[in-house]
Every structure is written in C-alpha cells, then in structure tokens.
Amino acid sequence: PRPLPFLDMELELSLGDLPTPVKANTMPAPATCQGEDHDDLALGLRVTATERAGQENQRTSIETAEGEDSDEACPELPVRASPFRQASAQTASANSRGFDVNAAVPVDGRASTARSLSPPSMHMEVPVTQGVDEEASEDEDNGGARVRKKLRLSKEQSAFLEGSFKEHSTLTLEQKSCLANRLSLRPRQVEVWFQNRRARTKLKQMEADCERLKRCCDALARENRKLQREVAELRASRAPYPLYNLNHHLPGFGAALPSCSSCDATTRSTVSTVSSPGPSPMSTLFPGRPHFGPFTVTHPVPPLRRQPSATL
C-alpha cells in the first residue's frame, strides 16, 4: 500500500510543541503509518474560534459497536495519549444516530475539551472524537428509534481525507485504520467518507461528460442544419447532377422504402451494381434481403424532374 500523504498536507499539524497552552496530544501523534517515520508529528487538529462555534455543540458519542477502530487496528501506530481519545464503553451513551456523533470525549471524562483553555483568538482544539459511536446499545436503548445527528467533519479532517483521496480513491484496511486513528474517527466514518467522495467524483465526471456531449450535440445540429441548407440550395439550383435518393436504386431495398417522386424507372435503371466479393455490412444487417454490394452509377443521371406517375 502506498503511504498516506500526511506530510504533504497543508494542515495545521503541529510539529512538536503547539503554540497553545494546551495541546490536544500530550504525546506525539502516531509516529508512523505504514512504515513512514513521522516521529515528531503531532496531529494537532485545531479550529479557529469561529469554527469552534459549530463544534461546540458537537457532543460526544462513544465508539464501541465497532471494535475495528481500536488502536490495535493499526499496529504501527502507538497508542495515543490524546484528550480526545475515545471514551470507554461504560461512558458510552451516544452514537451517530441518536446521540451526539460529533462531540469529543476527553480522556478525563469531562464533556468539554482542552480547547477552552485557549483564548478565542487562538486556534482551538477540535473535538475530533467525532466518530465515537455506539450503535448497537443505543438502538436497544431507543427501542430502535433512530435520530440521526449530523456530523460535520472539521476542515482539517476534510483536508486530510482529501489529501489521502488524491493518493488513492479506495482504501485498504490498513489505510482506513490509519486514517481513522489519525483523525480520531471511526474506520466506518472514513470508509463512508471515501464512498461519498467517490460518488461525488463520479457525479462531477458525469456532469462534465454531459456538458461535453451537449456541446457535441449542438455542434452536430448546427452542422446538420448547414448541410440541409446546402441540399436545399442544390435542389433549388437544379444542378445538372442532382442528388437522388439512392435507396431507390438499391436492388432489394427500394421496394421497401417510401417512393421518391423525383425518380422513375428510367433513372433507377441508370444505376447498376457490381458484384460484391464477400459479405457486406448491408447483408449482415439485413440477412434476409438480397444484396449486391457496392453500386455505381454507370452513366450520367438526367436532371431532376417531376414524374407524378412514377411509382415503384
């Protein structure tokens, strides 16, 4: 698997010490992912004061239903000592449907996070334990009634996922776990994000294709109108060699096609056929009909004239 583009992201990742008095990660963030050495990279996901407002009402939920996002899921990643670490199962009370999907759960169990210690003008810590979820137990508690709470990923989380998506639009289990650990999301949330992201990409591509086809169609329509005009002009000018409906002159076909009042038996007889060396597209398309291959006009066709009595 390819390495995740962690270091390429222009995120507010803290390298070493954070400028704020309180750091989300009191330990360095997961040092490695898939063998990469990011020892002093601390994933300090932060939001500004304005962003904080939206995050403020994000309350915690707990992840227990999915055991996959334990730290063991990404063995290369050291256990994180983050205030946003997911709460234990006994504190679980919320999940993505019915309870707060978004809230962070500090390790110490308090509802608010360390961000409150920072001045408003400074970057605030993001409660990144948004993924914590406990679907099964809560469903039982709710009697099955599910009230979904909207999760909004932070800009940093989204940017991180975007960067990863650019590297690979699908995830391996390992990558999923690593991302989930990095962003303090549930692997399921990472998975869903990638699914939705692929859908958005596809939709955009379809829109682009549709637009291109529309332009192509418009161009063809213009070309068609132009050719129609040319045909009309040629007919009007009574050119010495007018355009004929050659369908009439195809043996085996003419009889089945609408008659052309412009042609009569004489003009039709001016068209002869040459033998075809093998099966042609025509005979393939119309196997039941006789087909004589390419035809040629053996002598000049008389000028177009009306013959009301001409029928096939």
Residue 101 buriedness (CB in 10 A; 0-12 / 13-18 / 19+)? buried
CB of 222 to DNA, least distance (A): 30
CB of 192 to DNA, least distance (A): 5
Give the dihedral sign, CA 52/162/94/76: negative
Interface residue with DNA, options 16, 79, 145, 148 (CB under 7 A): 148
Q: The tokens of 91 are what?
A: 């504190």
Q: Which of the stretches 40-48, 147-155, 240-248, 255-263 binds DNA when contact is defined by CB under 7 A?
A: 147-155
Q: The tokens of 233 are what?
A: 């002009």
CB of 196 to DNA, least distance (A): 4
Residues 44, 33 contacting (CB under 8 angstroms): no
Residue 53, H or E segment: helix 49-56
Q: The tokens of 80 are what?
A: 């994180």
Interface residue with DNA, options 88, 195, 261, 272 (CB under 7 A): 195
Contact between 67 and DNA by CB under 7 A: the answer reads no
Residues 29, 182 contacting (CB under 8 angstroms): yes
Q: Which is nearer to DNA, 147 or 285 (CB)?
A: 147
d(CA 68, CA 134): 13
CB of 173 to DNA, least distance (A): 5
SS3 203: helix
d(CA 122, CA 41): 20
Residues 307, 250 contacting (CB under 8 angstroms): no
Contact between 130 and DNA by CB under 7 A: the answer reads yes
Positions in 269-298 near DNA (CB under 7 A): none
Q: Which is nearer to DNA, 98 or 254 (CB)?
A: 98
What mask, x for binding DNA by CB under 7 A, covers residues 14 to 33? Answer: --------------------
Residue corresponding to tokens 């707060």: 100
Positions in 151-190 near DNA (CB under 7 A): 151-153, 158, 170-171, 173, 188-189
Count of Cβ atoms closer than 10 Å to residue 161 Cβ:
21
Q: Which is nearer to DNA, 30 or 131 (CB)?
A: 131
Residues 59, 134 contacting (CB under 8 angstroms): no
Interface residue with DNA, options 149, 248, 249, 268 (CB under 7 A): 149
Q: Which of the stretches 38-46, 74-82, 93-101, 118-126 binds DNA when contact is defined by CB under 7 A?
A: 93-101
Q: Which is nearer to DNA, 147 or 236 (CB)?
A: 147
d(CA 243, CA 262): 10
Contact between 88 and DNA by CB under 7 A: the answer reads no
Interface residue with DNA, options 6, 84, 193, 244 (CB under 7 A): 193
Positions in 29-58 near DNA (CB under 7 A): 54
* Interaction site with DNA (CB under 7 A): 54, 95-97, 101, 130-131, 133, 135, 147-153, 158, 170-171, 173, 188-189, 191-200, 202
